Structure 1
Amino acid sequence: MMLEILTDQINAMAQGAVAALPTILIAFVIVLITWLTAKGAGGISARLVGKTELRPSLRNLLKTLVRLGIWIGGLMVAAIVVFPDFSPAGLIAGLGIGAVAIGFAFQDFFENFLAGVMIMLREKMQIGDTIKTQDIHGKVEYISLRETHIRAFSGELHILPNAQLFGNPVEIFTDRPIRRYEVVIGVSYDTDLDEAERAIRSAVESVDLVDQDEGIQVLADTFNSSSVDFMVRWWAASSGAETVLNRDQVVRAIKRALDDAGIEIPFPYVTHTFKQRVPIGAALDEAA
């Protein structure tokens, strides 16, 4: 008796599956058409916005939203074909019942999604910018709704969740075409400071990569243990190879100028981008 009931149920399920094959096939075709449409629409939208002056992150956002909208519409049509009783209103009602559970289950997803939208909408921090956040310092290569890719200058790729990037301070080094650099130079106490200032200023002015329009500062800054320290400030490009080369050329030019003037540098050290003092060799190694 039990065997007959089980056999009848299996047969009924098999007949139902066979009867549902046409609708499943139609739903599969709809999904396939949706995929092709989303792919084509993404390419078309990318070409259209590519002719505008929109930021790369906004272009990526619009392209993603277009494809996402097509996918949502296509999947809903496929669901209605397979389940005739299905309706958008029923879906919304179901989501209302399980909203709390879904919120907990996909908390990280929605948090990163919303953070990605906010990052793409804001004007600051675009693809190609050099940034520093927490211990990550590099160039922004890609921004999506889920994560941001940052290429370190040593070659490593950091994949950072958008919520983490959005919720922490970010230094943007390339927000302007130029930025200020600093070097601290110490001279011996028996040095004529005016003569040293003139030699250092002339050396910095001789470097082609230094932006002369922004001005150069050579300031007597500190009485150190065995030297009087000058704070030397200048402006140069904020991106590209010049960010390394300009510092190298300035340090070399200052060293040559002080040697030519017979001015002693008791303890050579520099300041790395107005932060802490580090030995000249270590600073140049890090810049390279």
Structure 2
Amino acid sequence: MDSILNWLNENSGLILHYGIQAVIALVIFLLGGRIAKFCAKLTEKAFDKKKVDKAVSSFVSSIVYAIVFAATILMALSQIGIETTSFIAILGAAGLAVGLALQGSLSNFASGVLIILLRPFKSGDYVEAGGKAGTIKKIEIFSTEMRTPDNKVIVMPNSKIMSDAIINYSREATRRVDLVIGVGYDADLRKAKEVLKSVLDNEPRILKDPAYNVSVSELADSSVNFIVRPWVKSEDYWPTYWSLMENIKIALDDADITIPFPQMDVHLHKQD
């Protein structure tokens, strides 16, 4: 016990010095974390004021947070006497090893940067990407969050999104509704065409320009197929689609025009 007390008395100045340095380093670390969060929020607010896409502001703010927090850690380590130059070199070597081990994560990060630069979609767009479809909520460093129409949340790796085709259903202001309506071979085609046109004319969500198209497209195995292609605003696509399917069936039934189901005629020949 006496030897410990003597050692403490002899090194009290050194202990006090490093104790103060450690406290300062801890304060730097705690304040740096708050400053990093503050900078990230400030960046996001600045983007929001300029009406930049929400997904872009979320992505950039997360990068700002990571940079400020990394600088805070280096400052705290420097305060307690750790040589940051050599530490950065060690981190570089370790980063290379980790980078080789985490190629997928780095690929996600690079893909996230490409999404921000190329902007194939923005927050609020309904897209089909990576084999999934949903509304884009936010883009982060490694992943993109989507929400399906039945309110499921999909977190998609950015690399998977950029490695496949992206279908953006919301980018253009208008969309074409493509329907194929089959009628029986015994039906009056002129009358059937007029019935289809009357249904389209009575649908208020269908645009006048460009004009819709109703034409015979195929003499199929069991029906004569019409293509019905009106144009609507993108947000009216599904309501119009469902309304047309119902109203066309009702209108054809009222006109005594049948919509045949797939069928096959079998002929039997008797041999003596």
TM-score, normalised by the number of residues in structure 2: 0.83
Equivalent of residue 150 in structure 1, options 138, 146, 151: 146
Report Cα offsets for 1:239-260 as digits up to 9, x if no partner. 3xx3332112111222232233
Gap change, CA 1:116 and 1:17, over 3 Å in 2: farther
Quick check: 2:120–2:166 contact (8 Å CA) kept in 1?
A: no
Is the partner of 1:104 in helix, strand or coil?
helix
Quick check: 1:141–1:151 contact (8 Å CA) kept in 2?
A: yes
Aligned length: 255
Is the partner of 1:213 in helix, strand or coil?
coil
Quick check: 1:205–1:212 contact (8 Å CA) kept in 2?
A: no
* Per-residue deviation, 1:134: 4.2
Q: In the TM superposition, what are the counterparts of 1:1-288 in structure 2 within 5 Å?
A: 20-87=18-85, 90-95=86-91, 97-98=93-94, 100-239=96-235, 242-267=236-261
Matching residue's letter, 1:191: A
Mapped to 1, the partners of 2:62 and 2:117 lie a distance apart of 13
Quick check: 2:148–2:154 contact (8 Å CA) kept in 1?
A: yes
Matching residue's letter, 1:226: S
Matching residue's letter, 2:172: R
Matching residue's letter, 1:113: F
Mapped to 1, the partners of 2:69 and 2:176 lie a distance apart of 48
Mapped to 1, the partners of 2:81 and 2:162 lie a distance apart of 41
Percentage identity across paired residues of the two chains: 26
Is the partner of 1:83 in helix, strand or coil?
coil
TM-score, normalised by the number of residues in structure 1: 0.79
Mapped to 1, the partners of 2:190 and 2:170 lie a distance apart of 34
Q: Which residue of 1 aligns with 2:267?
A: none
Quick check: 1:139–1:150 contact (8 Å CA) kept in 2?
A: yes
Matching residue's letter, 2:42: I
Report Cα offsets for 1:211-270 as digits up to 9, x if no partner. 22222111201112221010111122323xx333211211122223223333222239xx
Report Cα offsets for 1:193-223 as digits up to 9, x if no partner. 2221121012112111222222211120111
Greater Cα radius of gyration, structure 1 or 2 = 2
Unaligned runs of 5+ in 1: 1-6, 269-288
Quick check: 2:181–2:228 contact (8 Å CA) kept in 1?
A: yes
Matching residue's letter, 1:82: I
Mapped to 2, the partners of 1:157 and 1:94 lie a distance apart of 39
Quick check: 2:59–2:139 contact (8 Å CA) kept in 1?
A: no
Unaligned runs of 5+ in 2: 263-272
How large is the RMSD of aligned CA atoms in angstroms?
A: 2.6
Report Cα offsets for 1:25-75 as digits up to 9, x if no partner. 211110111112122222222222212142222222332232223212212
Mapped to 1, the partners of 2:230 and 2:79 lie a distance apart of 68
Gap change, CA 1:97 and 1:66, over 3 Å in 2: closer
Mapped to 2, the partners of 1:119 and 1:142 lie a distance apart of 12
Quick check: 1:57–1:121 contact (8 Å CA) kept in 2?
A: no
Mapped to 1, the partners of 2:155 and 2:34 lie a distance apart of 29
Gap change, CA 1:66 and 1:101, over 3 Å in 2: closer
Gap change, CA 1:26 and 1:266, over 3 Å in 2: same
Mapped to 2, the partners of 1:179 and 1:244 lie a distance apart of 10
Matching residue's letter, 2:21: T
